[in-house]
Structures are given as structure tokens and as C-alpha cells.
């Protein structure tokens, strides 16, 4: 027998479809506009598809605006900082979930409470620290700051807490130290969760504008978000180059998600599982 589709489900699907269109439409508009000339972009009434597609915007962005350098800077900071954050998150999650020591829960609550502190509250003091240690206009200011991520520690704690203690105790009885337990037992079991966390961390680092804008002074060290801001002048904004730069910017994020999509879904699914 064929299953009847209820009216409520049809309505839900319609709303989901409309929501998907609303979310994806700006991206399609941005991508198609990157192949338009400046005159066609500002023309009224606007056209959705380019009448005379051109790749001149992509050539100009890479050659005139040093965008290739911005792209490499962002990739370098993204890779290095993401790896460090993932490792420190695993360490923190393991300590707070599997090691027993005095005031463990209290310390974890203090760490967790830092998530409620707005970034603008701490950014001035953090900037002064960078001045004192001489890290202004260096990659260290972008990478070292924020390597201990409270959200990452919280996520890893939740996943590692679901790993049976019997596995860890068996390894300890066999003479394994804490780091060996972490690398050979914990790490293989949390790869899906690690992939899900990596996507969130990558998005946060890749889209970060305020901090790189404050601590970087050299054009050769700008990241992509700062580079995109350069397309907007005081009296004139080159929308063609700005949209082209934005289109290039989202490509690495899409690639990361496509490669980690399976692990991301597994990680989200595992978050609701209990031992």
C-alpha cells in the first residue's frame, strides 16, 4: 500500500523548500554577479544571469589586489590554528571527562563561563598584551590567541565522556600512560566528532575579521576578510571585485565541508548517543 502524505508534511516541505531558496539565493546571485561587469551589476532593472560573462574580475582580483597573498595567509593561519585548537580541545575534554582530581567540576564551570564573555570586552586587553610581547603585525598574534577554545573543550568533553571507562582502565592496566591512552584509544574513537568540530572551528577562523584587522598592519600579511574590506572605498566601492572576492572566499569552506560531510553527520549523530 502506498503511504499517504499528510497535509502537514506537505506544508513543512514547502516551508523547508522556501527556506532553502531564501538561503541559497544570495550565494547564486554572488557567484553569477562575479562574471558581470561593474556596469551590469549596478544596472536597473537588475539581471540575474550575466549577459556577457567575463572572467576579468577574477583576473583583476588576483593580479591587482594581492588577493592571492591574502588567500595564502588565510590558509596558513587556518591550518595551523585549527590543528592546535583541535589538539588542545582533545586534551581539555579528556582531562575534564576521564581524569579525577579535586575541584574538577568547579574548574570546568569556570572555563565554561568564559563563553558568556563578549569578545569586545576582552579584545582591548588582549591587544595590549600583543603590544607588550611585540607580536603586533606577526602571525603569532593570529595563531596563538584563542588556541584554547572553550567551545571545543566542551564538545570534546561531551563525546569523550561517552567512551566506556573500561577501555581506558584496560589500557592503564597494560601499562599505557595517559598520552598513549589519548592517542591510541581516545583519538580513533572521536574522529567523527573531531571532524564536526573542525568545520565549526574552520568557519570561525576563516571568517574572522576584527582581530586580524586590529593586529595586522602590513598588506602582505592581511587575511581574506581584511582584504575584502579593501574593496570598499570612502567614495567608491568596486562591487564586481568585492563579489568576486567573496565567491573565492567561500570555496575553501565548501571543499572542507564536502570532504568532512560524512564525518560531520556521524559526529552530530553521535552527540545524542549515551553509553
Q: How far apart are CA 143 and CA 9, in angstroms?
A: 47
Determine contact, residues 68/62, Cβ cutoff 8 Å.
yes
Domain extent at residue 88: 58-269
Q: Would you say residue 26 lies in a domain?
A: no
Q: Would you say residue 73 lies in a domain?
A: yes
Cis ω for the linkage preceding 114 (within 30 of 0): no
Which residues, other chains included, contact 51 with Cβ-Cβ below 8 Å and sequence gap of 6+?
A: 36, 40
Can you give the pLDDT at residue 18? Answer: 92
pLDDT digits (tens, 9 = 90+) for 106-123: 998 998 888 888 888 888
Which residues, other chains included, contact 141 with Cβ-Cβ below 8 Å and sequence gap of 6+?
A: 130, 135, 211, 215, 216
Q: How far apart are CA 54 and CA 247, in angstroms?
A: 14
CATH number, domain of 72, equals 1.10.3720.10
C-alpha cell at 115: 563563553
Determine contact, residues 201/155, Cβ cutoff 8 Å.
no
| Residue given cell 506537505 in the structure block | 10
Q: Would you say residue 17 lies in a domain?
A: no
Q: Would you say residue 72 lies in a domain?
A: yes
Q: What does pTM read for this prediction?
A: 0.80
Q: Would you say residue 105 lies in a domain?
A: yes
**How many domains, in total, are found in the chain?**
1
Mean pLDDT of 129-138: 91
Q: Would you say residue 106 lies in a domain?
A: yes
| Residue given cell 567608491 in the structure block | 236
Q: Would you say residue 147 lies in a domain?
A: yes
Q: Which of 190, 107, 185 is nearest to 156 (CA)?
A: 190
pLDDT digits (tens, 9 = 90+) for 148-198: 889 999 989 988 888 888 888 888 887 878 888 888 888 888 888 888 888
Can you give the pLDDT at residue 49? Answer: 82
Q: Would you say residue 5 lies in a domain?
A: no
What are the CA-CA distances from residue 15 to residues 7, 12, 18, 33, 171 (Å)? Answer: 12, 5, 5, 27, 51
Amino acid at each position: 500500500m502506498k503511504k499517504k502524505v499528510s497535509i502537514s508534511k506537505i506544508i513543512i516541505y514547502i516551508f523547508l523548500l522556501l527556506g532553502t531558496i531564501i538561503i541559497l539565493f544570495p550565494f547564486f546571485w554572488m557567484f553569477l554577479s562575479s562574471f558581470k561587469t561593474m556596469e551590469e551589476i549596478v544596472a536597473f532593472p537588475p539581471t540575474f544571469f550575466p549577459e556577457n560573462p567575463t572572467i576579468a574580475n577574477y583576473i583583476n582580483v588576483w593580479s591587482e589586489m594581492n588577493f592571492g597573498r591574502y588567500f595564502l595567509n588565510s590558509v596558513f593561519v587556518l591550518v595551523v590554528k585549527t590543528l592546535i585548537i583541535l589538539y588542545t580541545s582533545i586534551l581539555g575534554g579528556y582531562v575534564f571527562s576521564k581524569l579525577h582530581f579535586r575541584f574538577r567540576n568547579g574548574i570546568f564551570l569556570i572555563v565554561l563561563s568564559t563563553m558568556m564573555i563578549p569578545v569586545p570586552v576582552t579584545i582591548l586587553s588582549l591587544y595590549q598584551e600583543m603590544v607588550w610581547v611585540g607580536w603586533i603585525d606577526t602571525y603569532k598574534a593570529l595563531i596563538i590567541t584563542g588556541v584554547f577554545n572553550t567551545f571545543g573543550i566542551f564538545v570534546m568533553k561531551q563525546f569523550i565522556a561517552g567512551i566506556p571507562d573500561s577501555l581506558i582502565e584496560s589500557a592503564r592496566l597494560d601499562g599505557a600512560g595517559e598520552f598513549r591512552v589519548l592517542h591510541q584509544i581516545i583519538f580513533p574513537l572521536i574522529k567523527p566528532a573531531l571532524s564536526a568540530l573542525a568545520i565549526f572551528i574552520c568557519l570561525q577562523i576563516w571568517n574572522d575579521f576584527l582581530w586580524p584587522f586590529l593586529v595586522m598592519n602590513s598588506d602582505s600579511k592581511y587575511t581574506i576578510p581584511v582584504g575584502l574590506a579593501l574593496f570598499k572605498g570612502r567614495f567608491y566601492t568596486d562591487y564586481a571585485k568585492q563579489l568576486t572576492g567573496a565567491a573565492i572566499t567561500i570555496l575553501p569552506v565548501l571543499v572542507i565541508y564536502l570532504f568532512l560531510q560524512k564525518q560531520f553527520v556521524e559526529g552530530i549523530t553521535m552527540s545524542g548517543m549515551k553509553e
